[in-house]
Amino acid sequence: MTTNAPWVDELTFGPVLRRTAQRFGSREALVFPQAGVRLTWSEFDQAVDRAARGLLAIGLQPGDHFGVWSTNWPEWVILQFATARIGVVLVTINPAYRPAELEYVLGQADLRGIALIEQFKASQFFAMLDEVCPELKTSTPGTLHSPKFPRLQWVVRMRGNDHPGMLGWDELLARGEQVSAARLEEVEAGLKPDDPINLQYTSGTTGFPKGALLTHRNLLLNAFYCGECLRLHETDRICVPVPLYHCFGCVLGTTCGAVFGATMVFPHETFQAEATLDALDAERCTTIYGVPTMFIAQLEHPNFTHRNLSSLRTGIMAGSPCPIELMKRVTQDMGAKEITIAYGLTEASPLITMTRTDDPIEKRVGTVGRVLPGIEARIVDPQTGQPLPDDQSGELCCRGHNVMLGYYNLPDRTAQAIDTDGWLHSGDMALRQPDGYFRITGRFKDLIIRGGENIAPREIEELLYQHPKVQDVQVVGVPDRKFGEEILAWIRLRPGMTSTDAEVRDFCRANLAHFKCPKYVKFVESFPTTVTGKIQKFKIREQAIQELGLQDVASIETA
């Protein structure tokens, strides 16, 4: 890895994109095969300008919060850079959310506006918004008044049929024609690198998600150092099948592309193995991103051997513990010989450590790499907080340019996550080897990671407590070959009640994003406890591994 000074430091998103457009204007910036969209860096820069002027035209100002609720779609990326250009905080909303989850974020994030698509498969986004905000259907664009969401004024339709109260995307751009280029430049010039620009919701152990507030500097430096680790160049083409609402997509994907002038290729609006393989082949991608489940799906696809993947050089596997044998298959069978592993969390913008393309193979597949420049990391005893020596497992903490400003409107939670010396506590167990490489050894916080999605067991438990038949419930993660972890619910029913797995799952599916619904349900009379009555979730997990025959999966070695 080179030690180039980060040219993006002390800049905001607007000047970074303008410089890339000036340097690489005729090169492709954005490719969405499904939408039939291809934009050069010059065209993308102009599209961002038009959208930014449209947002100014409807009265948005620096510091306002604007949400985007959509699958991967061209307007999503344009909005990301347009909001950043005028200092509006983009609130990224998971497209798998159900109405209760949407309602929480709309209120907690203090949204002034939201952009969304009409539907994708069974998810009816307009209908869900109507359900939680019925005033929309009787309003006109810009006149929305909702007692539940007092700040929400604007709803923008990114794609789909006309809907009362919504402004169409083309109408937004048309309104922007009345805003001068000088006005846009004036707003952009007033922004600072440490201004917040992104609010990303992440599941914690407290049930409902917390919004991590991230700055221009957080994201630009993380993207810069990530690209340095990958040895990115403007001739690279990054395949981004991971979701944009997540840091993986909108920092390591789009922001990285903008910093290095590399082309961003989005195979499909959600992950599909065949579409990803098609894009790798047809678009001659050099770089592939994904969580372990995505790589498994591609390697095991029946048409895998019929694709020409000879252009692949590097990429990132992250988001979940990475099985060492899978990393070897990606280097050998997919040909991504310089594939890397990255580790981090949303609160760290997201990367803390990463392997480098020139690391020895055993380091690239067996560790999560070294700390990125400008970041400190240490391992501490989770009980005492004291630093631990090399080769001892403890909690991984970091400090530096990657640490979030805090959780939005949750000062107590922020104080729990970031101590008075500025150390962000990850909640992950790790050890540092004497050579400076880190290995993740486990988690002591109550969190399930399924296919790259962070899931708070308490959120599922709190929902199931609302079921009239449920007296008590404990939710844990159990090992899974495909997703890394799956969800198990142990349920104690009220006296005289009976239920079925299907009834429990249907209840969850109606109220939670699909990935939070339990795969396994077990009805029990009691839970394992300590002598003081505290429930021992690790024993539930151990018993489930035996009963479900998951011993082989539990023994898979990860970095």
Domain boundary among 332, 362, 382: 332
Distance CA(53)–CA(468), nearest Å, equals 51
**Nearest alpha-carbon partner for 214 in 193, 185, 186, 228:** 193
Same domain, yes or no: 155 and 303: yes
Per the domain annotation, does 134 fall within a domain?
yes
Q: Which amino acid is at 113?
A: G
- Work out the average pLDDT over 102-129: 97
Same domain, yes or no: 143 and 281: yes
- CA distances 551 to 451, 543, 556, Å, are 19, 11, 9
Cα 292 to the chain's mean position, in Å?
Answer: 15
pLDDT band of 538, cuts 50, 70, 90: confident
| pLDDT tens digits along 466-491 | 999 998 899 999 999 999 999 999 99
Per the domain annotation, does 402 fall within a domain?
no
Same domain, yes or no: 460 and 327: no
Distance CA(482)–CA(475), nearest Å, equals 19
The domain tally of the chain equals 2
Whether residue 28 contacts residue 264, with contact meaning beta carbons closer than 8 Å, is answered with: no
Per the domain annotation, does 375 fall within a domain?
no
**Strand-pair partners of 202:** 210
> H or E stretch including 539?
helix 537-547
Token reading at 344: 């981090």
- Domain interval for residue 485: 448-554
Q: How many residues does this entry show for the chain?
A: 559
Per the domain annotation, does 177 fall within a domain?
yes
- CA distances 378 to 393, 437, 438, 443, 446, Å, are 11, 12, 10, 16, 21
Per the domain annotation, does 77 fall within a domain?
yes
Same domain, yes or no: 197 and 66: yes
Residue 324 has pLDDT above 90, yes or no: no
Residue 205 has pLDDT above 50, yes or no: no
Domain boundary among 310, 332, 354: 332
| pLDDT tens digits along 328-343 | 999 999 999 999 999 9
Domain boundary among 301, 332, 363: 332
489: domain CATH number? Answer: 3.30.300.30
Per the domain annotation, does 123 fall within a domain?
yes
Whether residue 288 contacts residue 334, with contact meaning beta carbons closer than 8 Å, is answered with: yes
Same domain, yes or no: 203 and 70: yes
Same domain, yes or no: 325 and 456: no
Distance CA(55)–CA(49), nearest Å, equals 10
Per the domain annotation, does 357 fall within a domain?
no
63: domain CATH number? Answer: 3.40.50.12780
Per the domain annotation, does 338 fall within a domain?
no
